[in-house]
Each structure stands twice: as C-alpha cells, then as structure tokens.
Structure 1
Amino acid sequence: MMSKVTEVVEELVTPILTENGLELVDIEYAKEGRDWFLRVFIDKDNGIDIEECGIVSERLSEKLDEMDPIPHNYFLEVSSPGAERPLKKEKDYHKAIGKNVFVKTYEPIDGEKAFEGTLTKFDGQVVTIDVKVKTRTKTVEIPLEKVASARLAVTFS
C-alpha cells in the first residue's frame, strides 16, 4: 500500500515540479500516532521558498482530490529536505562529492555500520568516503547496494 501511494504521488507531482523548475527529493507516506502524513520534499539548486512549497501543495492537493488514491484522511506537507537532505538518486551522490555525508549500511563494513566523512567519489556502484579516525583519515568504500540510508551531514567546527 505505502509504495503504491508514493508511486501515484510521484506521477502526480512530477509534471507540477517540472513546470516550476523544481526537483523531487523524496516522498514519505507514514503513520504517526493516529494520523497519516504524506510528505513531499522538493528542492532546486539555490533552494526553495515557502511560496513554491505552497504552489506545489495546492496543485498536488487538487490532483489528489481528483484521483483520491488514499482511502483515509491524511496531512499533506510539502517542504524542502533541509540541510541534511537524503541522498537517494545517483545525481544526489554526484552533487554531494566534496561534502560531508552520513551513511548507514545494512551490514557491517570493517566492523562498522555507520560512517560520517567526506564523500570523495561515486562511480554509480561504490560510495567512497574519507572518514577521520582520531588523527588519521581512512578511506572507506561502500557498495551502493549495502547502503541503508545516506544523507548530507551538517558539521559544526
């Protein structure tokens, strides 16, 4: 059910985003407590503003009302992914090269399942991160299929 909803929403929102020069970052459909939330995260190169979120929300809401793909009440939220945006698609990884990232894996790599460091390379198959371990830097190569989740990470120096 959940993946079906996100697929339908992706089909509905994509033309709206294309028309407005925006990109889809992620769609989340989740139950929190007794309420259902449909969250659509959008962005563009120099960031988005509240008006753009409003336009997308309004247009998407109309399309969802027409199609009615969700059988119960839910809250629709359209927003920016924020500073710690998820890395989902190949282009997200390519854009993140040189930036600080946080990656969790399905299974341990060198005894670890969580890595934070600078994304130095992505070849479509392997994510390469330079991780600082005390005073030295260790290069970790993570096969893409072992990545459970990845996102940009904000660092405070």
Structure 2
Amino acid sequence: MQKLTQQELIYSCFNNAEKQEKTLKDKCLKYANQIGDPMISGILEECGRIASKHMDGIKQKRKLIKLPSLVKTNMSLDTLDLMQDVVKEVIKLQTFYNDHIIMITNPDIREMLTQFRDEEMKSISMLQQKIEAIESKPTEINKVFSTREGL
C-alpha cells in the first residue's frame, strides 16, 4: 500500500467516518421505530443522536482546517482512495483463494482457484502500478522565477 500524507489520511478518515456514522444513525433510528420496548428505542435513538453529533463534528473540522485546499493538485484523491480500496479488496480475495487452495484436495477445483489467485495478483500489480504513476505526476507550476535581474 502506498504511503499517504497526513492530509490524505485525514481526508480518507473523514469520508469513511461520515459513511459509517450515517449508516449507524440510519439503522438506529429505523430499529428504534420497529422495537416495541420504549427503553430500548430510547437507547437506539440516543445512539442515532450521537452519530449525528459525530457527523456534525467532522463537517465542522473539515471546514476549519480547509481540507479541500490541502489536497494535492496533481492528482484526484478520490480516484486514489477508490483504487487503494479496490487493491485491499483484491488482496483479500487473493488471500481467500490461496487459503482454500491449501485446504481443498480436488485437483480440478484447486486448478481453478489457483488460476483465480494468479489473476488477482495480476490485478493487484496493475492497480499498484497505476497508483504509483498517479502519485508521481509532477505538480503544476504556479509561478516561474527568473534568476537574472530585470526579467
């Protein structure tokens, strides 16, 4: 996995936290309406309020630190985040196939799983190469300074 800057880590953390908090909030409120026990419903509603508070805190902090201005101009962080997420999933899948190749004795199935594992490795390599290419793009030059006087 590529090393991310602190700004990129914060950006990714905020995005993931907001998604998870929203999911929690939605589930808590939905389940609170389905459960007949008022005490349990109250606890779930409170959990939903806490999730909302967390989402508000993330939004406020995002504005305060002006996170969009910290993102590098030479790449799309969203694209990198998505690609790195896919790499993680493909690695999980490759590990899954590898673990099962060891346990399954049927030669036909083992051959198929081996092929799948090898194809996943190719995908990992392609994605990692593209991620490295995106990250190594030169940044835009905003100003050109001359070393000679009068220019």
Which is richer in strand?
1
Give the structure-1-normalised TM-score.
Answer: 0.27
The structure with more radius of gyration: 2
Which is richer in helix?
2
Greater relative contact order structure (CA < 8 Å, 6+ sep)? 2
Give the structure-2-normalised TM-score.
Answer: 0.27
